[in-house]
Amino acid sequence: MDFRFDLIANYAPFFLKGTLLTIGFSVASIILGTILGLLIGLGEMMRNKKLAAPFRVYVTLFRGTPLLVQIMIIHFGFVPLFIGETNVYISGIAALSLNSAAYVAEIFRAGIQSLDRGQMEAARSLGMTHVQAMQHVIIPQAFKRMIPALGNEFIVLIKDSSLVSVIAAPELMYWGNAMQGQYYRPWEPYLTTAFIYLILTMVCDFLLRKLERRLATE
């Protein structure tokens, strides 16, 4: 077996473009998914069961169906319905962030519920409102506990962004497939693709560990 680095070098500009788009998809979906996930998590924890129900349904739907199917439904169904045409960027970011939000919501809920009830009681006994207590006492602590699980979720999201190649969003996996189609060789395109995903997830992991250390109080 000869491994042809020269083919990879030829394709490098495409891999670069693809990588940048993968980073774009990932960063946008991590940000949107986290914000949305926090809101859904808060919604799930509302004391009024009726108000909380839609949020639980959301989590059930998005966790219970395959991301690939969600991408198809959003791309061919919802996006044309709302904007009148298909758009791989909108579809990709929407599908990835909506899906991720369901998992972030559960991570967030677990983070908050793992805190001792006394924290909320102490804050409320000092005259803080529920919102103030959440903002200054509960969420900062829950966030710290969430980081490892959140890191996991971000890494999964980076890897799962490869699924949007099926709707022809020209990200990393798309160019890997394209190169394979052009040269009919398995190793160079897919190992290169895998290697770049590995670098991206390792960078993500590194950044989160740094954040975790910075938030440590001891």
Partner 1 sequence: MIRVENLKKSFGDHEVLKDITVSIAEKEVVVVIGPSGSGKSTFLRCLNRLEEITGGHVYINGMDIADPKVNINKIREDVGMVFQLFNLFPHKSVLENIMLAPMKVKKVTKEEAEEKALRLLDKVGLKDKASVYPDSLSGGQKQRVAIARALAMEPKVMLFDEPTSALDPEMVGEVLEVMKELAQEGMTMVVVTHEMGFAREVGDRVLFMDGGYIVEENKPELLFGNPQHERTKAFLSKVL
Candidate residues 129, 195, 198, 209; the one interacting with partner 1 per rule CB under 8 A: 129
What does the alpha-carbon distance between residue 157 and residue 147 come to, in Å, rounded to a whole number?
15
For 142: left if phi > 0, alpha if psi spans -120 to 50, otherwise beta; the answer is alpha
- The reply on whether position 218 binds partner 1 by CB under 8 A is yes
Residues 187 and 130 sit within 8 Å (Cβ to Cβ): no
Q: Output 118 or 186, the one with its CB closest to partner 1.
A: 118
Give the total of residues touching partner 1 (CB under 8 A): 21
- The reply on whether position 140 binds partner 1 by CB under 8 A is yes
What does the alpha-carbon distance between residue 144 and residue 73 come to, in Å, rounded to a whole number?
35
Candidate residues 16, 65, 83, 136; the one interacting with partner 1 per rule CB under 8 A: 136
What does the alpha-carbon distance between residue 200 and residue 47 come to, in Å, rounded to a whole number?
40
Phi, psi angles (nearest 5°) of residue 101: -55, -35
Candidate residues 86, 113, 114, 125; the one interacting with partner 1 per rule CB under 8 A: 125
- The reply on whether position 217 binds partner 1 by CB under 8 A is yes
Least distance from C-beta 210 to partner 1, angstroms?
Answer: 18
- The reply on whether position 127 binds partner 1 by CB under 8 A is yes
- The reply on whether position 132 binds partner 1 by CB under 8 A is yes
- The reply on whether position 178 binds partner 1 by CB under 8 A is no
- The reply on whether position 141 binds partner 1 by CB under 8 A is yes
- The reply on whether position 87 binds partner 1 by CB under 8 A is no
Q: Output 81 or 131, the one with its CB closest to partner 1.
A: 131
What does the alpha-carbon distance between residue 130 and residue 144 come to, in Å, rounded to a whole number?
20
Residues 46 and 52 sit within 8 Å (Cβ to Cβ): yes
DSSP letter string, 51-105:
HHHHHHHHHHHHHHS-HHHHHHIIIIIIHHHHHSS--HHHHHHHHHHHHHHHHHH
Which residues contact partner 1 (rule: CB under 8 A)?
116, 118-119, 121-129, 132, 136-137, 140-141, 144, 215, 217-218
